[in-house]
Amino acid sequence: MAVDPISLEVFKHLFASVAEEMGLTLQRASFSPNIRERLDFSCAVFDAQGRMVAQAAHIPVHLGSMPASVAYALSAFETFAPGDVVILNDPYRGGTHLPDITLVSPVFVDGAAAFFVASRAHHADVGGMSPGSLPLSTELYQEGIIIPPVKLVEGGRRSAGVLALIAANSRAPDERLGDLEAQLAAQRSGERRLQALAAEHGLSRLAEHAAALQAYSCRMTEAAIAAIPDGSYSFEDALEGDGQAEFRIPIRATVTVAGSRMTVDFAGSAPQAAGNVNAVEAIVRSAVWYCVRLLAADDVPVNHGCFEPVQVRVEPGSVLNPRFPAAVAVGNTETGQRVVDVVLGALAQALPGRIPAASQGTMNNFTCGGMVAGQAFVYYETIGGGHGAGPLGDGLSGRHSHMTNTRNTPVEALEYVLPLRVIAYSLREGSGGCGRRRGGDGLRRVYEFLAPCTVTFNSERRRYAPYGLAGGAPGACGQNWIVRGGVPEPVGGKFTSRVQPGDRVIIETPGGGGWGDLYSGD
């Protein structure tokens, strides 16, 4: 049963295919546009100890938080039986924010839990102060239903009470139940595939290659770190407010490299905020591991081994490690992006010819919801922007970047299910930063509402532009407007309001930073 390079490559793809098949099942069975069209979900495979073996190429922000959810699920129950499925979304127990609901289930082979599979999907509404469950909150309780690790399915029997409780706390209960059914289908798909692999190759050989893949990823990550000059490198950027007020919220990182090991210390970052931008520790770890993975010359398999050479330090009570019940609704989407910006900014000092300028640095979260003919509707989407330019080329335009890997929602799908129109959807030409390599352009998206509803923006880079590098200019800041009676009113990055039929919302997303002095030679 020896592991060799060929068998390792084969099993790498076999494990990854399990997660990919789970993702395809979840997408095809889902009800909401956010999951079906935007692909706002992740699926992963874990070994018997809860260590990640493979994650599909879905959402980077789930890289470090999925393992935390699995760890909490395993610690919450002494035993598992075939057919069990644990559900949770608590950000302080391995989650990210409340709309991200995670399912974890054991895979039994020869009478023992040999693996675990997990799926996480962003549900369009789980209650809270405003439709879409990303409110301008001041505590977690305002953001929706909090689900600790509980068994949604026990021994193959579903808990009607848990399902009823979740449905009762959503503005779109049928959609929630449909999307949960899709996740359950994904869980069953992963379970069947792993059991088939164990039957074909033997459990010992499967477990042996899972461990070998983790060790391989660890070695690859160590090699990527060893290529960075030893030393300490610091960088600081900032958020623009917490939804309660606009003010500077500094995020600071010091990256220390010693041989094949790296420590990323966020000492000096702001204390936890009153509003919704606090990010739990799992999000910070995800962002750091994502940055390190970008440095590898080859494609590093995503598993537990990637994490071992990197230590992350965050101060309790800070905006990057808040104390319960601090609000965290957009710590996942906005603060996670800024963590990437500061870590890459620090690494640019060590590797000046490799790191690109800042991308748009926000997910431009937009939520809306209301009632039409007695039926509730809820919608959530993130909007792409400009990528930062790098030494090898211009930045991409109109794309999601870094911690989000979702698609846009097609206009046709959006208008089919919601009482609104998309009046304009285009690149925001000239918004990318100038330089020898130009930053990518942002997007312009205009919505017109056909029914009264509540809209909420949670966005960043409306005051502090995405930075350029090596002499390149910053990208343009984003802008948000409400148009009432034909009169556009500029609003801040975080804003909520009622709108009426005929009102419009305009969202212009940031461009990416430029790279290189425009007037210097190559």
| pLDDT tops 60 at residue 421 | yes
Strand 231-239 and strand 157-158: pairing? unpaired
Identify each DSSP E strand in 35-99 by its residue range: 41-47, 52-55, 85-88
Residue 325: cis peptide before it, omega within 30 degrees of 0: yes
Residue 118 Ramachandran class (φ > 0 left, ψ -120 to 50 alpha, else beta): beta
Which parts of 202-321 fold into alpha helices (H)? Answer: 203-226, 281-294
Residues 154 and 293 sit within 8 Å (Cβ to Cβ): no
Least confident of 41-50, 57-66, 144-153, 398-407: 57-66
Q: What is the per-residue pLDDT for 166?
A: 98
Cα–Cα distance for residue pair 80/74, rounded to 1 Å: 9
Cα–Cα distance for residue pair 414/80, rounded to 1 Å: 41
Cα–Cα distance for residue pair 389/439, rounded to 1 Å: 5
Q: What percent of the chain has pLDDT over 70?
A: 99
Which parts of 267-335 fold into alpha helices (H)? Answer: 281-294
Least confident of 62-76, 272-286, 347-361: 62-76
pLDDT digits (tens, 9 = 90+) for 77-127: 989 999 999 999 999 998 999 999 999 999 999 999 999 999 999 999 999
What band does 406 get if pLDDT is binned at 50, 70 and 90? confident
Which pairs from 381-384 meet CB under 8 Å and 24+ separation?
Answer: 381/33, 381/34, 381/38, 381/408, 381/409, 381/414, 382/38, 382/40, 382/333, 382/406, 383/408, 383/443, 383/445, 383/507, 383/509, 384/360, 384/408, 384/442, 384/443, 384/509
* Mean residue pLDDT across the chain: 95
pLDDT digits (tens, 9 = 90+) for 245-298: 999 999 999 999 999 999 999 999 999 999 999 999 999 999 999 999 899 877
Tokens of 478: 């984003």
Cα–Cα distance for residue pair 377/370, rounded to 1 Å: 6
**Which of 480, 486, 427, 434 lies closest to 458 in space, CA to CA?**
480
Cα–Cα distance for residue pair 268/271, rounded to 1 Å: 9
pLDDT digits (tens, 9 = 90+) for 308-334: 999 999 999 999 999 999 999 999 999
Name the CA radius of gyration of the chain, rounded.
22
Q: What is the per-residue pLDDT for 409?
A: 85
Q: What is the per-residue pLDDT for 38?
A: 87
Tokens of 122: 């962003």
Cα–Cα distance for residue pair 30/183, rounded to 1 Å: 8
What's the rounded mean pLDDT across residues 501-506? 98
pLDDT digits (tens, 9 = 90+) for 18-61: 999 999 999 999 999 889 988 899 999 999 999 999 998 667 77
Provide the residue type at 208 as one letter: E
Q: What percent of the chain has pLDDT over 90?
A: 89
Q: What is the per-residue pLDDT for 405?
A: 78
Three-state secondary-structure class, residue 328: coil
| pLDDT tops 90 at residue 63 | no
Tokens of 79: 């035993």
What's the rounded mean pLDDT across residues 468-481? 98
Least confident of 141-155, 294-308, 346-360, 505-519: 294-308
User: Which stretch of DSSP H or E encloses residue 153?
Assistant: strand 150-154
**How far is residue 194 CA from its own chain's centroid?**
26
